């Protein structure tokens, strides 16, 4: 555990996918490519296969270690997408990226086991289960594929539902949860621990199981900010932590900004998450994120500076 000015910092558990290991010294950046016409972030919409493949090329050039490919918008807005249509969106891109970048780590963003099965031939390295085991078979499919697995916390919300009247904690006199500040953190820790245990029981190695508190999903902005501050507690569970912070609503509501203007807020949240023990960061803005997480790793004392010439004598 590194110590900076007598303050102990959490050493994040390493993440290992297909023989590549990411640690506090070399955190992973996961680039986002959504094969959807209605993604919440306009610049992240890649309905055209060629544009999507070019976007992957750029993310790799900007420093992405793995690419997360999804075919369904997370929120409830937009048309419903059946499993077959989801496969039609993601599989051609996965196949093309695998051909263009054979060594690149690929993540599939889905909550459906049948979609993961349909993409089995590509060689998926990670299954990003975005809706807290809404399909309980998905973790077993990930294990069968030899892929890593992301455990998420969505407060029990069904896929593609937005939070409404969300509260956590024991019931008060009115029968509703009290929703004290630490109640959300306790729920996140409990759910992620349970999900990680399920993944281990399915046969997925501990170092290939990421836990994601899934900010915004099933949470108010107050919840998301509280959970972000608790990142060190998440890292203390002993699994690599994934933080998906990029341009989310909790950033927008905190600063009262539209999605197009949330980069600075996202990077501030990224720096805090990195300082507190996050090892993988899901991002639209890969180049900026890469620079932030590497800088934080060096400030923590985990990563040496890339160049050391200032003030160095002959």
Region 146-152: mean pLDDT is: 98
At residue 310, the pLDDT reads 93
pLDDT digits (tens, 9 = 90+) for 32-81: 999 987 666 666 678 889 999 999 999 999 999 999 999 998 877 777 89
At residue 41, the pLDDT reads 66
Q: Out of 98-102, 181-185, 242-246, which region has the weakest mean confidence (pLDDT)?
A: 181-185
At residue 228, the pLDDT reads 98
At residue 182, the pLDDT reads 85
Q: Whose CA is closest to 220, among 175, 254, 193, 194?
A: 254
Q: Domain spanning 3-29+37-43+112-164+177-300 has what CATH number?
A: 3.20.20.20
- The CA-based dihedral angle spanning residues 19, 24, 26, 31, taken in that order and rounded to the nearest 10 degrees: 90
At residue 216, the pLDDT reads 95
Our CA angle for 170, 172, 175, nearest 5°, is 95
The average confidence (pLDDT) of the chain is 93
- Residue with the bigger pLDDT between 165 and 226: it is 226
Region 164-192: mean pLDDT is: 88
- The CA-based dihedral angle spanning residues 176, 177, 180, 185, taken in that order and rounded to the nearest 10 degrees: -150
Beta strands in 176-226 (DSSP E): 209-212
């Amino acid at each position: 555990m590194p110590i900076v000015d007598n303050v102990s910092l959490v050493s994040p558990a390493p993440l290992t996918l297909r023989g590549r290991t990411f640690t506090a010294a070399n955190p992973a950046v996961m680039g986002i490519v959504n094969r959807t016409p209605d993604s919440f972030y306009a610049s992240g919409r890649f309905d055209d296969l060629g544009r999507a493949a070019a976007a992957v090329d750029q993310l790799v050039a900007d420093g992405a270690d793995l690419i997360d490919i999804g075919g369904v918008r997370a929120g409830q807005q937009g048309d419903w997408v059946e499993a077959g249509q989801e496969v039609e969106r993601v599989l051609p891109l996965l196949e093309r990226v695998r051909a263009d970048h054979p060594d690149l780590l690929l993540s599939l963003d889905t909550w459906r086991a049948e979609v993961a099965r349909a993409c089995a031939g590509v060689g998926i390295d990670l299954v990003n289960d975005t809706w807290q085991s809404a399909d309980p078979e998905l973790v077993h499919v990930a294990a069968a594929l030899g892929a890593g697995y992301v455990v998420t916390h969505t407060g029990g919300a069904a896929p593609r539902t937005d939070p409404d009247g969300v509260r956590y904690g024991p019931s008060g006199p009115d029968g509703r949860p009290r929703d004290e500040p630490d109640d959300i953190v306790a729920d996140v820790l409990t759910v992620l621990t349970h999900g990680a245990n399920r993944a281990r029981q399915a046969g997925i190695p501990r170092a290939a199981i990421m836990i994601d508190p899934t900010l915004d999903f099933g949470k108010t902005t107050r919840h998301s900010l509280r959970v972000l501050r608790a990142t060190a507690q998440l890292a203390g569970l002993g699994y690599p932590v994934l933080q998906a912070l990029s341009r989310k609503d909790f950033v927008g509501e905190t600063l009262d900004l539209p999605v197009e203007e949330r980069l600075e807020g996202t990077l501030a949240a990224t720096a805090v998450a990195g300082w507190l023990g996050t090892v993988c960061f899901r991002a639209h803005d890969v180049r900026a994120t890469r620079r932030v997480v590497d800088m934080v790793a060096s400030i923590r004392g985990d990563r040496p500076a890339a160049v050391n010439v200032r003030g160095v004598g002959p």
